[in-house]
Structure 1
Amino acid sequence: MEQQMKKIGVIGAGWLGNDLVNTLSADRNKMVVSTTRSEQTGEFQTRFRFEFGDHLPEAFIEALDVLFITATLPKDKVQQSKLLHFVNELHAKLPEECRVVFTSTIGVYQAEQGTVAECCTEVDTGSVYYRMEQELLTKFPGRTTILRLGGLIGPDRHPVFSLSGRTGIADGQKPVNLVHKQDILKFMKLLLEDQTVAGAYNLVYPDHPSRESYYTRKAMEHALPLPEFETGTDAGKIVASERSQQVSGFNYQWSI
């Protein structure tokens, strides 16, 4: 049976969001995309210029099935104050059945050691990402999915390139909590098929070598100057991803 075309909105067509748009439009979904530039691209893509504080065009919101918010949230307090108005506008205008997916960060966890999961209560309540999570979960109960992403890696993005050749890098003993872009895109695509997936999910590859061993190995693989780490006493934290692995049809395929 041919899959019914969905109208999908994406706010934030950056490093992750743009690949999400291309992935979902390839399946003949109708994509409406907000960017900081106004442009029209692709048979199944319509792009609008939008920044937090602007009003979303009616053509963007109308008949929307799923909204992905992948934009980087502002650090500036003045700009952050506009986020509440943005969520309130969504609450007032989004279709009743529209699902909301927000890419947050594992940076919301305040715990410095041990293993943390989605049920962990030791969170940074002052974080703009955590506050955004709570606003969306409150305004759209039962139809909001929060993706707490680990450190992002992909073919054109990896921390080893900035760490290569550096010395005296702190916390060499701490574990890495990383995730490949392709695994994120796979999980996002599954959300279109399984509407029961709601609440918070950590997206982190389930392997956590130490920073020193991992980045040394990656530097060697890329024939880069080796980074030199200092070993401290803080064991660091591991972000657990068992909940995401329980979602039907999903498993982490892209090793770090």
Structure 2
Amino acid sequence: MNSITVLGSGWLGFPLAQLLSKEFSIKLSTTSSSKFENLKDENIIPFIVDINNLNGDIDKFLSSDILIINIPSKNIDGFKELIKHILNSNIKKIVFISSISVLKDETTPLLEIENLFKKTNLEITILRFAGLIGYGRNPAKFFPNGKVVKDADTPVNMIHRDDCINIIQKVVKQDIFNETFNCVAPSHPTKKEFYTYCAKVSGLPVPTFDSSKNESNKKTVKSDLLVSKLNYTFIHEDLMKIVF
């Protein structure tokens, strides 16, 4: 294995590609050519790919050993078309970046997209990431202009970008496929505890909290299978020690 295609070069995809390019040849997509104006990494080959309008370059883009899908789109028809191209390519293994939101909402298109990939004969590992934080995503800024934080006593499910990238890298290098992992930092402070901490370490106003009880939201998601299968230790294990 020496080539990886990364679909999506956003907040997570671009630094992921930069890390992987130290060991692999990388094809990386964006929907805007301006994204790559200052790209100097010779191991990263840029492509313009829009899942809403796949063009002739898609087959060349998919000429790799592994595909990592990291885009926010929930366009089911677009993914169906993408899968047709994948099945006609050399790709045999896929890492699909999903979200733990599928655990709360079985009607989300994201769950249907997961199942589309599972129905193929490809080796796929689905990574369901928790709330993404770090590198510009400061939870203290999630509630601007006095917006009230509801369900203040509900535990948070979060993960830092450093761990997201590290987990993807380990899945690829350890060849861990045909799995579905929940990826969540092991600490679960309440919303009130966590957002108060984030505000204070960032020098920002502490938001207002509503402690009305909503039992349906009190779901703590754990990463036990991930930790076991990958022998994984979180970089940012304690959310209350992260500096934003």
Is TM-score (shorter-chain normalized) higher than 0.5?
yes
Q: Secondary structure at the residue paired with 2:98?
A: strand
Name structure 2 gaps, 5 residues minimum.
240-244
CA RMSD of aligned residues (A): 1.9
Equivalent position amino acid for 1:174 in 2:
T
How many residues matched? 230
Query: C-alpha separation between the residues in 2 aligned to 1:48 and 1:149?
Result: 25
Deviations 1:214-255 (A, max 9, x none): 111111111111111011212411111111111334211213
TM-score normalized by structure 2? 0.87
Q: Residue in 2 aligned with 1:120?
A: none
Q: Pick one of 167, 172, 178 that aligns with 2:152.
A: 172
- The one of 131, 136, 146 equivalent to 2:112 is 131
Distance 2:54 2:220 in 1: 38
Question: SS where residue 250 of structure 1 aligns?
Answer: coil
Indicate the SS of the match to 1:156.
Answer: coil
The aligned residue for residue 241 of structure 1 is 223
**Contact 1:73-1:128 at 8 Å conserved across structures:** no
Cα shift at 1:156 = 1.5
Asked if 1:58 corresponds to 2:59, the answer is yes
Q: Greater share of helix residues, 1 or 2? A: 2
- Scaled by the length of structure 1, what TM-score is found? 0.83
Which range moves more in the overlay, 80-89 or 17-26?
A: 80-89
Gaps of 5+ in 1: 111-122
Report sequence identity in percent: 25
Q: Which amino acid is 1:57 matched to?
A: I
1:149-186 deviation per Cα after TM superposition (whole angstroms, max 9, x unaligned): 10000132122113256253211111100000011111
Within 5 Å, give how 1:192-203 maps onto structure 2: 192-203=172-183
Q: What is the Cα deviation at residue 59 of structure 1?
A: 2.5
1:83–1:197: structure 2 CA closer, same or farther, 3 Å change rule? closer
Question: What are the residue-to-residue correspondences of 1:1-256 with 2, within 5 Å?
Answer: 6-27=2-23, 29-38=24-33, 39=36, 41=39, 42-52=41-51, 53-55=53-55, 56-62=57-63, 64-74=64-74, 79-95=75-91, 98-110=92-104, 124=106, 126-141=107-122, 143-163=123-143, 166-235=146-215, 236-254=218-236, 255-256=238-239
1:31-84 deviations in Å (ceiling 9; x for gaps): 00111024573210101101013045332222x11100001114xxxx432221
